[in-house]
Structure 1
Amino acid sequence: MIETIVFDIGETITRDDRYWASWADWLHIPRHTLSALVGAVVAQGKDNAEALRLLRPGIDVGAEYRAREAAGHGEHLDEDDLYDDVRLALSALRNAAVRVIIAGNQTPRAGESLRRLDLPADLIATSGEWGVAKPQPEFFRRVLDVAQAAPSETLYVGDHPANDVFPAAAAGLRTAHIRRGPWGHLWADDPDVVATADWRIDSLTQLAGIATG
């Protein structure tokens, strides 16, 4: 039985369109160019920030992020950034008495934005707030601390095998890989993902059946 479901954020709960578009605009490059480079580095198994370094060799990503914030072009999330199935799926889980947590690799600012959306979730937390990021084991220890359920009764949902499915499974959690966004589609049928994920889904609305089935 699944008592708690924990959701990744980027490309699970929210689309990353605005995030990468804002970086492209800040660096004065075509949005499609950056989007294509993000896809290329992802396919190579590299961190997606490597796309920024390809465009601006030697860039200090952290410093540029702070410069964007200071210039009023910082990170922002609103209702339009949510995937269409998010509120319906989370509400169904809450109605089924499943504890709902959102926890992913995001900044404290992103966490604040998500909490302002008043999503049907028991807790929203980010790696920036916890001081530890996926795929580090400590992140999933923090997940289990807040899950209030045994690892075998806790399900982690995400799109990225290396950041979500594999480390969550290594921590003893149940896992669901969602075919969503570039990472989710790229690795949807990867043999290791198929072998590791307890479930492979196309929509968050499938989770209510999994939790109560």
Structure 2
Amino acid sequence: MTTTGEATGDATGGADRAPIRAVFFDIGETLINEGEIYGRWADWLGVPRHTFLTKLGALLATGGTHLDLLEYFRPGFDLDKEERRRAEAGVPNGFGAEDLYFDARRCLAGLRAQGLYVGVAGNQPVQAAEQFAALGLEADVVGISDVWGVSKPSPEFFARCAAECGLPPGDILYVGDRIDNDVRPALAFGMRAAFLRRGPWGHIQHDERALRRCTFVLDDLVDLPALVERHNAP
């Protein structure tokens, strides 16, 4: 089930029914379900999964990050070192087709069928480029922060998205699950934003003012193509 709400104003607060011509998607907890990814980290560190995820929620609620979570359970945690060790042990970090959210493939295809530019751009390591390409999703561009050399919430990240599609920010909708990394910076850059309420950040973070400025607020991606089509209707 999807619950949606369409805002009455754009990033500047004025009414705006100009068409959406490009849609960019975050990756983690927007297209990729990271639940099993965190579960595999818990297994690797020898921590019960429910304990690991409970601590993640507590850290996010107080402004912490997933890196703080790993540091908590293993002081002095070195991400690069641990990823190498996991790869050598045959349990590499990353994602695959089994981690793709059920609605991701159809949503991207539905938007492209409308003639829209569809991009994927998120904060991910270099290895994610190959992992994402293997999914075979319909997208005009896939932007990986560690490949681009710029990450969210930097304005340069959103400028790169706009440059990739060759459209002004106001014609672009950015879809993500985080208010701090997705919604606020996209709006600040002049883009439209869709907030997706799933994953830990999507349920823990809250900013009513930012949500009122969103073009859409979603529980999943099922109805997004229809919502965009309706928004763009003459």
1:104 and 2:140 matched:
no
Q: Secondary structure at the match of 1:205?
A: coil
Q: Gaps (5+ residues) in structure 1? A: none
Corresponding residue of 2:6: none
Q: Which has the higher contact order (CA 8 A, sep 6+)?
A: 2
Q: List, as ranges, runs of 4+ consecutive aligned residues in structure 1 with deviation greater than 6 Å.
A: none
Aligned residues: 212
Alignment counterpart, residue 183 of structure 2, candidates 165, 172, 175 = 165
Indicate the RMSD between aligned Cα atoms, in angstroms. Answer: 1.5
Residues 128-154 of structure 1: CA deviation (Å, up to 9, x unaligned): 211221111211111111122210110
Corresponding residue of 2:208: 191
> What amino acid maps onto 1:192 in structure 2?
R
The answer to which structure has the higher helix fraction is: 1
The 8 Å contact of residues 94 and 120 in structure 1, kept in 2 or not, is answered as: yes
Identity of aligned residues (%): 41
Corresponding residue of 1:123: 141
User: Where do 1:10-159 residues align within 5 Å?
Assistant: 10-159=28-177
Structure 1 position 18, deviation (Å): 2.2
Larger Rg over CA atoms: 2
Corresponding residue of 1:209: 226
The 8 Å contact of residues 176 and 196 in structure 2, kept in 1 or not, is answered as: yes
Counterpart CA distance in 2 for 1:66 and 1:164 is: 29
Counterpart CA distance in 2 for 1:149 and 1:183 is: 29
Alignment counterpart, residue 196 of structure 2, candidates 178, 201, 211 = 178
Residues 188-213 of structure 1: CA deviation (Å, up to 9, x unaligned): x5313323322211221322233222
Please say which of residues 6-15 and 60-69 is displaced more in the overlay: 60-69
Counterpart CA distance in 2 for 1:124 and 1:70 is: 28
State TM-score, norm by structure 2: 0.85
Q: Gaps (5+ residues) in structure 2? A: 1-18
The 8 Å contact of residues 125 and 147 in structure 2, kept in 1 or not, is answered as: yes
